[in-house]
Amino acid sequence: MWYNIYEGSPYLPSIIYKGDDNMSKEIWKDIKGYEGLYQVSNLGRIKSYDRYTNSALKNTNRILRKGKILKQSNDGKGYLQIILNKDGKRKGFKIHKLVAQIFLDKRNFKCMPYEDRETIDLDNLEVNHINEFEKYNNSVDNLEWCTRLYNCNYGTRNQRVNSWKNGNRKRKEEII
């Protein structure tokens, strides 16, 4: 069962799975370039390590900051994002891309039947949400590497766009 950790927020849908069966299978791995600072899980959660920081007051000792699960924000297009800090510099990341980079093998990508798999550059692959209406579900089970062409033609996107252009303003649930 899904529940919303941002109670009352219209912007962020449910993103954390509540249940001992799934949480016990959660696997944490270091984020590339942020080893020892942050980790990502196969369920799409990000956590920080315990760390020492300087106190805001001068001439005082360093303070131990406990690691925690970090809050994610919506990028305005339905995708969840996070900002990570390293050496005083902030950088934003899409959660689904972090999860895919750590847990999915790029060699098992999806492509259109007429695309030549041998000529496709693995650095140009995109991450596709298998359930296209759950962009906030960033678990490994809902993600796959694919080509841009496959991603653009995936699911009911084209049907919804054509329906909208033709003046048929159906909701996405009616098209499925």
- Would the pLDDT of 17 be above 60? no
What is the percent of the chain with per-residue pLDDT over 70, rounded to a whole number?
73
Type of residue numbered 129: H
- Would the pLDDT of 13 be above 50? no
- At 127, list the tokens: 């991450």
CA–chain centroid gap for 48, Å, is 16
- At 146, list the tokens: 């694919």
Report, as an integer, the average pLDDT of 31-45. 96
What is the rounded radius of gyration, in angstroms, for the C-alpha atoms of the chain?
A: 19
Return the pLDDT at 12.
40
CB atoms within 10 A of CB 165: 8
Return the pLDDT at 4.
39
Return the pLDDT at 127.
94
Return the pLDDT at 67.
93
pTM summary value: 0.73
Q: What average pLDDT is seen over the chain?
A: 80
Contacts of 15 (CB under 8 A, 6+ apart): 2, 4, 5, 44, 72, 80, 136, 137, 138
CA distances from 126 to 18, 118, 147 (A): 29, 17, 6
Beta-carbon-side half-sphere exposure of residue 127 (alpha carbons within 13 Å): 22
- Would the pLDDT of 1 be above 50? no
- Label each residue of the chain as H, E or C: CEECCCCCCCCCCCCEECCHHHHCCCCEEECCCCCCCEEEECCCCEEECCEEECCCCCCCCCEEECCCECCCEECCCCCEEEEEEECCEEEEEEHHHHHHHHHCCHHHCECCCCCCHHHCCHHHCEEEECCCCCCCCCCHHHEEEECHHHHHCCCCHHHHHHHHHCCCCCCHHHHC
**pLDDT by residue (tens digit) across 52-98?**
887 777 667 788 889 999 999 999 988 999 999 998 899 999 999 99
Between 21-30, 39-48, 113-122, 146-155, the lowest mean confidence (pLDDT) is in 21-30
CATH of domain 2-175: 3.90.75.20
Tell me the domain boundaries of the chain. Answer: 2-175
Return the pLDDT at 133.
83
- Would the pLDDT of 172 be above 80? no
Return the pLDDT at 90.
96
